[in-house]
Structure 1
Amino acid sequence: MPLPQEFHDIAERVNNWGRWGPDDEIGTLNLITEQVVREAAGCVRSGRRVPLALPLRQDGVQTGVIPGRVNPLHTMTAINQEIFGPGTVATTDDAVTMGLQAATHWDGLAHVSHSGRLYNNRPADSVTAHHGASCLGVEKATPIVSRGVLLDVARAHRTGQLPGGHAITPEDLDAAEEQAGTAVRAGDIVLVRTGQLRHYLAGDRHAYAFPSPGLSLRTPEWFHARDVAAVANDTLTFEIFPPEIENLWMPVHALDLVEMGMPQGQNWNLEELATACAQAGRWTFLLSAVAEPFVGGSGAPVAPVAIL
């Protein structure tokens, strides 16, 4: 199905091509300035550290629906091996094979294209089999550290978990922002909790994957208006799945990554953070979420930590 006019109209309104120059490769991460980071550090009060990554394991969130996105396969390559001779210090080593976006991750700006173009009007064919992303690779992402804001949409709906068919709207984000008692501002990283990850944590990865609540076609304008640096949530697909418009697949990905140049994250565990924020009575924190710098990668695993 060709992209509808509604998509193109939104794309025109949120487009950031050329905003930071014709050679820019990091998009909205430009909004995380030194001043933003200094102010983010002021969010640390108790020093409580909340991990947001899922464990990397072979029975992870991937079900095989996405070709090639395999769960981590961990292999021992050496076990107590005395490589310098008998009686010397022994070493143990291991290796892993996995999709870079298999578990908790960032989507890089080369992850999605539409109409033959990537962010900042780069050609989609700049991604090749041998070199990956020759531009916009995830290694270009600056150290992602900023103020994090938890928008607990499930809590705003007075439920622990949104239903599978719920398309998160700007009105949902407004309600969660109001409940958090803070205004999302330029350079923030927004974490949107749906509660969907509870399926996976309870042992049902198929229910986690489908059907899934997620961000709707109207939300990119909400993030663009506030100059958000990046957005992540606790679902496999980020946007609502199946799509809200029949046969219009991944339009939010295309608007966020291609038009805005805004990294987005999936499979983030926001359950402990939601509890910690409710206990503290505040939903802002210092967030460290540095992407692993895989050269030419279209995405990267991340082990984010929220510091309250």
Structure 2
Amino acid sequence: MSLPAEFHEIAKRVNNWGRWGADDEIGTLNLITDEVVREAAAAVRSGRRVPLALPLKQDGVQSGMIPGRVNPLHAMVQINQELFGPGTVACNDDIVTMGLQAATHWDALTHVSHSGRVYNGRPAGTVTPHGGAEFGGIDKARHVVSRGVLLDVARALGRDRLDGGHAVTPEDLEAAEDLAGTRVRAGDVVLVRTGQIQVYLAGDREGYGYPSPGLSLRTPEWFHARDVAAVADDTLTFEIFPPEIEDLWLGVHALDLVEMGMLQGQNWNLEELSTACGETGRYAFLLSAMPEPFVGATGTPVAPVAVL
């Protein structure tokens, strides 16, 4: 089944292949310049730090909908073990097995492909069983520190949480921008709050994933026009699920990651941040969201922190 004409038309309008050279592997992260970071640091007023990651635990957000994407399985391999003989210092060590996109995470540009290509026109076959992503792996995204802007769509629309079938539109983003009192600009990392994470926090793992509000097919053009560096939200699927166009699954993923080369994140807990921004009336902050540099990985856990 081929992708619909509407998808290809949007893809042409947001395509960034070659914009930063034929060998580029980080896409819109190129927009986070030294000047952008300096201005982001100037956004810090109180020094209040707000963590945005979910706990990594065995009963996490994954319900089995995506095969192989397991919640973190934690095990101890040493418990008070005196490695160097009786009476010496004892050690505790642990291991974990998990899907790299299991909880709060970034998707690498190679997380999806379409029409046989990944970002910058590279063949989809550059992702291999043993080496992972030979090009555009998450390890290439070495510095994700910039100005963060919370677009609290739910609050801007007068709701605590968007309905499961709500497709977030550019008009919704602009309403949230008006609420924030700041304009999204080049190099920003945009955090879109729908309130959907509340469903998971209340203990309904199945209801959290389906149906879900999320970004619509119209949003990639908005982010492209603003030269946004990366986008994350508080849902399992990032985009509206089920999709707006029948059988066009992960269409927003393909536009953001493959065509635009824009990092995207899911399962970010934006509830405390929403409260903090509402209390202070400030929706822009310094955001540190460094990916774990798994070589060749197509995604990675992240523990982002907003500094107000």
Give TM class, smaller chain: over 0.9
Aligned residue type for 1:212:
S
Match of 2:37 in 1: 37
Instruction: Say whether the 8 Å CA contact 2:106–2:266 is kept in structure 1.
Output: yes
- Secondary structure, counterpart of 1:173 in structure 2: helix
Match of 1:71 in 2: 71
Match of 1:157 in 2: 157
Identical-residue share of aligned pairs (%): 77
Aligned residue type for 2:227:
D
Match of 2:94 in 1: 94
Match of 1:175 in 2: 175
Match of 2:117 in 1: 117
Cα distance in structure 2, aligned partners of 1:163 and 1:20: 38
What RMSD over aligned residues (CA atoms) do the two structures have, in Å? 0.4
Q: Structure 1 length as normaliser, TM-score? A: 1.00
Match of 1:141 in 2: 141
Aligned residue type for 2:128:
T
Structure 1 runs of 4+ aligned residues shifted over 2 Å read none
Cα distance in structure 2, aligned partners of 1:9 and 1:65: 30
Q: Structure 2 length as normaliser, TM-score? A: 1.00
Deviations 1:204-252 (CA, angstroms, capped at 9, x unpaired): 1111011000000000000000000000000000000000111110000
Instruction: Say whether the 8 Å CA contact 1:29–1:142 is kept in structure 2.
Output: no
Q: CA deviation at 1:142?
A: 2.5
Q: CA deviation at 1:2?
A: 1.4
Give yes or no for the alignment of 1:57 onto 2:61.
Answer: no
Cα distance in structure 1, aligned partners of 2:300 and 2:178: 32
Instruction: Say whether the 8 Å CA contact 2:36–2:187 is kept in structure 1.
Output: yes
Q: How many residues were matched structurally?
A: 308
Cα distance in structure 2, aligned partners of 1:100 and 1:42: 33
Deviations 1:42-85 (CA, angstroms, capped at 9, x unpaired): 01000000000000000000000101100000000000000000
Match of 2:254 in 1: 254
Aligned residue type for 2:13:
R
Match of 2:298 in 1: 298
**Stretches of structure 1 lacking an aligned partner (at least 5 in a row):** none
Cα distance in structure 2, aligned partners of 1:166 and 1:135: 35
Instruction: Say whether the 8 Å CA contact 2:73–2:96 is kept in structure 1.
Output: yes
Instruction: Say whether the 8 Å CA contact 2:142–2:293 is kept in structure 1.
Output: no
Match of 2:274 in 1: 274
Cα distance in structure 2, aligned partners of 1:16 and 1:244: 24
Cα distance in structure 2, aligned partners of 1:134 and 1:2: 26
Match of 2:209 in 1: 209
Cα distance in structure 1, aligned partners of 2:247 and 2:127: 25
- Secondary structure, counterpart of 2:190 in structure 1: strand
Instruction: Say whether the 8 Å CA contact 1:186–1:227 is kept in structure 2.
Output: yes
Cα distance in structure 2, aligned partners of 1:162 and 1:40: 29
- Secondary structure, counterpart of 1:117 in structure 2: coil
Instruction: Say whether the 8 Å CA contact 2:78–2:94 is kept in structure 1.
Output: yes
Instruction: Say whether the 8 Å CA contact 1:111–1:298 is kept in structure 2.
Output: yes
- Secondary structure, counterpart of 1:59 in structure 2: coil
